[in-house]
């Protein structure tokens, strides 16, 4: 029986000083394969090592790495998994090898590094292992893909940034679109039609129950460290807004000269 665990939970924040966040990294164990879905940014490498250790695993125990897409925050630790087969959409890796010069979201040098790894390209409907299939979900990027896995008798969608957080369901599009808005909207409709349990790219896993979102597990809070010394004075205050603005920045599109 397949099991799905979150190794590092994702989140994303918009602030008046810019945006930041971390991606979700999930471990799918089928009994015969250990499958890591997205590897995260290099800054979170110690967290990934620790999470694997807590599961009694090392990087050598990962058989397959699936990359939903090749943005830096989802794939910078791929080099750790030298024994693994790396699965990615052909459109995604082709673009990552020669991205537009103004597209800073693609992980620099990662596609070239992967030439020395066991890379397998997959497309819509392909079976990675029994019970684990590919769902192409372009929009956030041109070659974005999600993973549909059968867990405890139901289809669970590991969505990546095609559905970065629960608000995507009601909004109908992800909050960052780098390729195409219409594709992004169609991908959300496709995902919602395929499953009602989602492991998003930058949020806790959740289930859609009618018009309601039910979070399944994961931390509801993050801790912000005080960078001042003594006196109990905090160096950072923040407020939480109810909604975030969708960022449409089509950096993967050609620009007119």
> Cβ distance 24 to 38 under 8 Å?
yes
β-bridge pairing 85-88 and 64-66: parallel
Reported as type and span, the H/E element at residue 151 is strand 145-151
- Band of residue 13 on the pLDDT scale cut at 50, 70, 90: confident
Note the pTM of the prediction, 2 decimals.
0.90
Local confidence band at 254 (pLDDT 50, 70, 90 cut-offs): confident
pLDDT at residue number 190: 98
Domains of the chain: 3-216+231-248 (3.60.15.10)
**Which has more pLDDT, 224 or 123?**
123
Average pLDDT, the chain: 90
Mean pLDDT, rounded, for 14-25: 80
Average pLDDT over residues 25-32: 96
Tens digits of per-residue pLDDT, 139-181?
Answer: 999 999 999 999 999 999 999 999 999 999 999 999 999 999 9
- C-alpha span between 44 and 25 (Å, rounded): 10
Confidence at 81, pLDDT banded by 50, 70, 90: very high
Per-residue model confidence as pLDDT tens digits over 210-250 = 889 999 999 887 776 665 565 555 555 555 555 566 777 77
| Residue in the structure block whose two tokens are 């066991």 | 118
Structure tokens at 110: 């990662």
Percent of the chain's residues with pLDDT above 90: 75
**Interatomic CA distance for residues 74 and 53, integer angstroms:** 20
- Residue 8 structure tokens: 């590092």
Give me the percent of the chain exceeding a pLDDT of 70. 90
Task: Give the pLDDT confidence of 96-115 residue by residue, as tens digits.
Answer: 999 998 899 999 889 889 99
């Amino acid at each position: 029986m397949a099991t799905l665990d979150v190794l590092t939970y994702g989140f994303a924040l918009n602030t008046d000083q810019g945006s930041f966040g971390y991606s979700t990294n999930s471990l799918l164990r089928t009994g015969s394969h250990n499958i890591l879905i997205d590897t995260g940014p290099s800054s979170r490498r110690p967290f990934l090592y620790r999470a694997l250790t807590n599961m009694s695993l090392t990087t050598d125990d990962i058989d397959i790495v699936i990359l939903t897409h090749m943005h830096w925050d989802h794939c910078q630790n791929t080099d750790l998994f030298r024994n693994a087969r790396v699965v990615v959409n052909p459109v995604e890796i082709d673009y990552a090898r020669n991205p537009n010069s103004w597209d800073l979201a693609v992980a620099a040098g990662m596609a070239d590094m992967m030439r020395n790894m066991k890379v397998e390209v997959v497309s819509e409907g392909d079976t990675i292992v029994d019970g684990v299939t590919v769902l192409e979900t372009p929009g956030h990027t041109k070659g974005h893909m999600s993973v549909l896995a059968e867990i405890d008798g139901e289809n669970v969608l590991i969505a990546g940034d095609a559905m970065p957080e629960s608000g995507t369901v009601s909004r109908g599009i992800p909050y960052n679109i780098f390729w195409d808005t219409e594709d992004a909207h169609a991908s959300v409709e496709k995902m919602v039609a395929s499953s009602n349990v989602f492991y998003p790219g930058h949020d806790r896993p959740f289930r859609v129950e009618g018009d309601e979102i039910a979070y399944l597990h994961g931390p509801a809070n993050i801790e912000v460290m005080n960078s001042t010394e003594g006196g109990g004075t905090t160096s950072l205050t923040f407020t939480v807004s109810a909604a975030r603005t969708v960022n449409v920045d089509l950096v993967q599109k050609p620009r007119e000269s």
